[in-house]
């Protein structure tokens, strides 16, 4: 159905993922004490996502130092994909997700690195390419001293959804 | 109508702004990949706001180092004004905003700076002076290693509103 | 009523606290410009909580440096207890709290400390032991350069509740 479609948001989320050539990752397994995503009414709140593929981080280190802005942007995109997968699993399928309400991006930053927005654009652009207008969200991007597993970036997302 | 009124919350939000001698800034223009504020049901979530006036930061640098607590507190107040403007634009007018639910304040802090609450009071006090009792909010204030554009402070706000 | 009960979530919250041998701390007094917790519909949002007992921090300093992971985990547990007390006061009693939706944990971290999740588990495990299945929450854990009063950890919690 999505063949020929280039514009975002013209089909279902899964059609749009197909059109973009994106395969959704397997949702990370729930850990003991918290869950990858929590349904709250008509919202789905993800936990902070790291840029992992098959359980391994794609990059580690501080951005602007060991990690370039471009590498960090790609890592932020991966965080958003993982958030999408976590939310899809929580609501029972990616096509139940209807939009993006909020993104918070934490970037591992030495004090002289100030391009956090450019990094988190990697997440925001992925989400907007999948959801189109419904993907436009409020956002905060900040620089933090350290992240779990030495990840360069961590992203949490609030989606809207309907059954 | 607000003439002579000193008490917070006795009139509309715009009357209260007048009584306080505050001119709301022009809301920042939406950028490509996210929006300055997002309406979510009866709430309005702002993006993280920087202390900019007419597109330029009023101060840059780490608090307790290049930036004094008083300067940072004034910057936090400016962040809150920008949040108010962003939310007003999103809901269709400042008088549709009915209160403040949550503030998160990020303060650019070297490890030995611990007065983040004093800094973020600049935002909280502004919001409470405008909304009175309805402006009392939950809040987190933390110190971060770096912020976009070398800003000393970034503040996001969740408002309540009604049409 | 809870005598003999070891399983989480089998009784009321206060029964479960009794079964765990936990005495809820006195909720911190509201300060001038923000409140310890804010009721928002069927949710209760706490402010960022510090690991204080009777108004004094149980530990200060950076985790992985002056503060061990075990000490920080105990501090995170205390933050969660303070959040529980703040929310209980806001909704009119701990037994009106029905579950935990979200935890955000900020850990004072030098750049080479990466075990923020282990630290924040101190908060998550306490909440899950009190609420059982209803205590499973979305979560973000990040490392920050500095926290108020040199606290090693700050935790905010979103609870669900009903009258």
Q: For position C131, which CATH number holds?
A: 3.30.1330.40
The CA-based diameter of chain B, rounded to the nearest angstrom, is 48
Q: What is the mean pLDDT of residues C136-147?
A: 97
Mean pLDDT for chain C?
91
C-alpha closest to that of A20 among A29, A11, A33 = A11
Is the pLDDT at C5 greater than 80, yes or no?
no
Structure tokens at B129: 């002076």
pLDDT tens digits in sequence order for chain B, 163 residues long: 333 333 444 688 889 989 999 888 888 765 658 999 999 999 999 999 999 999 899 999 999 999 999 999 999 999 999 999 999 999 999 999 999 999 999 999 999 999 999 999 999 999 999 999 999 999 999 999 999 999 999 999 999 999 9
The residue segments making up the domain with residue C119 are 13-23+37-161
Say if CB B20 and CB B7 are below 8 A apart.
no
- Is A1 a member of any domain? no
Say if CB A109 and CB B145 are below 8 A apart.
yes
- Is B70 a member of any domain? yes
* pLDDT value of residue A141: 97
Q: How far apart are CA B53 and CA B50, in angstroms?
A: 9
* pLDDT value of residue C25: 87
* Residue A36 DSSP SS3: coil
Say which of B33, B36, B147 has its CB closest to residue A121.
B33
Say which of B48, B150, B156 has its CB closest to residue A114.
B150
Q: Which of A41, A117, A140, A162 to substitute to test the interface with B, most B CBs within 10 Å?
A: A140
Is the pLDDT at A5 greater than 50, yes or no?
no
- Is A119 a member of any domain? yes
Say if CB B110 and CB C146 are below 8 A apart.
yes
Q: Would strands B56-57 and B52-53 be described as parallel, antiparallel, or unpaired?
A: antiparallel
Q: Which of chain A's residues have a Cβ under 8 Å away from the Cβ of B45?
A: 101-102, 138
Angle at C67 between CA C81 and CA C121, to 5 degrees: 40
Structure tokens at C83: 């959040």
- Is A129 a member of any domain? yes
- Is B145 a member of any domain? yes
What are A98-131's pLDDT values in tens digits? 999 999 999 999 999 999 999 999 999 999 999 9
What are A62-102's pLDDT values in tens digits? 999 999 999 999 999 999 999 999 999 999 999 999 999 99
* Residue A78 DSSP SS3: helix
Q: How far apart are CA A86 and CA A94, in angstroms?
A: 9
Task: Compute the count of residue pairs across chains A and B with CB atoms less than 8 Å apart.
Answer: 78
How many domains are there within chain B? 1
Q: Which of chain B's residues have a Cβ under 8 Å away from the Cβ of C40?
A: 43, 101-102
Contact B116 C146 (CB under 8 A): yes
Contact B141 C48 (CB under 8 A): yes
């Amino acid at each position: 159905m999505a063949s020929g479609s280039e514009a975002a948001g013209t089909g279902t989320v899964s059609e749009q993922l197909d059109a973009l050539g994106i395969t959704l990752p397997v949702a990370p397994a729930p850990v003991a004490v918290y869950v990858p995503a929590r349904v709250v009414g008509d919202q789905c709140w993800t936990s902070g996502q790291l840029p992992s593929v098959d359980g391994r981080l794609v990059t580690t280190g501080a951005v602007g130092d060991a990690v370039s802005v471009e590498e960090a942007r790609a890592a932020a995109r991966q965080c958003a994909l993982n958030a999408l997968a976590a939310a899809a699993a929580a609501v029972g399928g990616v096509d139940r997700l209807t939009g993006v309400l909020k993104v918070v991006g934490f970037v591992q930053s030495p004090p002289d690195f100030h391009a956090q927005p450019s990094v988190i654009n990697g997440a925001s652009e992925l989400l907007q390419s999948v959801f189109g207008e419904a993907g436009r969200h409020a956002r905060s991007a900040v620089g933090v001293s350290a992240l779990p597993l030495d990840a360069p970036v961590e992203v949490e997302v609030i989606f809207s959804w309907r059954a």
